[in-house]
Amino acid sequence: MKRELTLNKLPAKVLAQLDLETVFIASRCAIAAERLQVFRKLDGKELSAAQIAQRAGIHRKHCEPFLNYLVFLGLLKKRGNLYRNSQLVIKHFLKARSIDWTRLWSYECVRDFEALTVMEEVISTGRGWRKILGKERKTDYELVQEDRQWARDFTYALYDYDRPNAEILARNLELSNYRKLLDVGGGSGVMSFALVRANPKLTTCILEYPLVCEVANEIIRKERLSRRVKTLAGDMNKAIPRGFDVIMFWNIGFITTQVMKMAYRSLPEGGMVVRNCSLPLKPKTLPPSAFLHGYLSVRPQGQSGPDIIKSLEDASFTAVKCRQISKNLGVITAHKRNIRKRRVPER
């Protein structure tokens, strides 16, 4: 998830008072404020502690001290006995995030806090934090299939999050010779929107689980792209439909070679497959984020660039190319070969 409000944006005098051992308290307060939607209740308003207590459901005993702590952090401003949002909050918590993002992000942060309470046991025994705490949970992709609210929050959160990457992809993917793109696991459709806007002759279809299709249809209507972006409820592991000259798999996690083979069969000759990959292709050392990623292990793991390339080749794709399109992001394209018809010798 995108971390917008990095610590260097906090006032220097605040940072000087936060120490490494207790900085988590400041972080937890910001998350509590987000979960209680304090910043959204204050959007465009100045309110007293009593008014905020009532609207956000905060106990009287804690409300003023809690709000004053948010003032100390530079998240709220206080004038007399009235509180309002600071510019930091307006920019990073309100303008940069939808309400769905707020719900999902703050839920994930609380889960992270819980997960970290058993760190010593996790790193000394190798057992997962969920097992230790008895908090087994379904995977993201199981949840999007059965929990309507979760599918909605997840899809809207990614709609916000993926927009900058969508613009980058649209500037860097040559599609002028193609007409119909299948956006497998296309989520909100954010990638499709940027691609059809950059390619006036292109139409796309998002292949997604039914609950995600419902959300995507709503977003497509808001984007006024109903004629050019459609949805199709399905499961890529079961079938990849025909009728498309490009099949894209963008940011879906692990994809089996079996699915790549189905994509190969569904494409016409000369058709293209598109996949994302993270860069560098062969990292020399693990990034610092790898520790938390492995520890928390909530997102479906993706595949390394070399694994994706091998899987495409195993599925018979040719002309496999990987290009860097931003600092950390690469796009892999490959083609279904044009098989020239062999002349049948005349008898």
Q: Which is closer to ligand SAM, CB of 26 or CB of 236? A: 236
Give me the least distance between CB of 273 and ligand SAM, in Å please: 14
Q: Which stretch binds ligand SAM (CB under 6 A): 42-50, 97-105, 131-139, 229-237?
A: 229-237
Binding residue for ligand SAM, selected from 105, 250, 264, 317, defined by CB under 6 A = 250
Q: Does residue 330 interact with ligand SAM by CB under 6 A? A: no
Q: Which stretch binds ligand SAM (CB under 6 A): 3-11, 19-27, 218-226, 230-238?
A: 230-238
What are the backbone dihedrals phi and psi of residue 303, each rounded to the nearest 5 degrees, phi first? -120, 155
- Return the number of other C-beta atoms located less than 10 Å from residue 238's C-beta: 8
Q: Which is closer to ligand SAM, CB of 187 or CB of 271? A: 187
Give the neighbor-by-neighbor strand order of the sheet with 82-85: 47-48, 82-85, 76-79
Using an 8 Å Cβ cutoff, are 166 and 194 in contact?
Answer: yes
Residue ranges of the alpha helices (H) in 90-181?
Answer: 99-116, 119-125, 129-133, 140-146, 148-161, 163-172
Binding residue for ligand SAM, selected from 70, 88, 144, 181, defined by CB under 6 A = 144
Residue 222 CA to its chain's centroid (Å): 20
Give me the least distance between CB of 148 and ligand SAM, in Å please: 13
Q: Using CA atoms, how far apart are residues 181 and 261, in angstroms rounded to an integer? A: 17
Give me the least distance between CB of 307 and ligand SAM, in Å please: 17
Distance set, CA 233 to CA 120, 204, 214 (Å): 43, 14, 9
Residue ranges of the alpha helices (H) in the chain?
Answer: 12-15, 23-35, 38-41, 49-56, 60-72, 87-89, 99-116, 119-125, 129-133, 140-146, 148-161, 163-172, 190-198, 210-222, 257-266, 289-296, 305-314
Q: Does residue 209 interact with ligand SAM by CB under 6 A? A: yes
Sign of CA dihedral 105, 109, 114, 118: positive
Sign of CA dihedral 34, 36, 40, 44: negative
Q: Does residue 219 interact with ligand SAM by CB under 6 A? A: no
* Binders in 170-189 for ligand SAM, by CB under 6 A: 185-187
Q: Which stretch binds ligand SAM (CB under 6 A): 114-122, 221-229, 249-257, 283-291?
A: 249-257
Binding residue for ligand SAM, selected from 139, 177, 226, 237, defined by CB under 6 A = 237
What are the backbone dihedrals phi and psi of residue 165, each rounded to the nearest 5 degrees, phi first? -65, -35
Q: Which residue has the tokens 């998240």?
A: 75
Q: Does residue 34 interact with ligand SAM by CB under 6 A? A: no
Q: Which is closer to ligand SAM, CB of 5 or CB of 232? A: 232
- Return the number of other C-beta atoms located less than 10 Å from residue 86's C-beta: 19
Quick one: which of 105, 103, 90 has its CA closest to 39?
Answer: 90
Q: What's the Rg (C-alpha) of the chain?
A: 24
Q: Which is closer to ligand SAM, CB of 63 or CB of 182? A: 182
* Binders in 112-141 for ligand SAM, by CB under 6 A: 141
Q: Does residue 158 interact with ligand SAM by CB under 6 A? A: yes
Give me the least distance between CB of 264 and ligand SAM, in Å please: 17
Binding residue for ligand SAM, selected from 34, 153, 160, 162, defined by CB under 6 A = 162
Binding residue for ligand SAM, selected from 4, 46, 214, 235, defined by CB under 6 A = 235
Binding site for ligand SAM (CB under 6 A): 141, 144, 158, 162, 185-187, 190-191, 207-209, 212, 235-237, 250-252
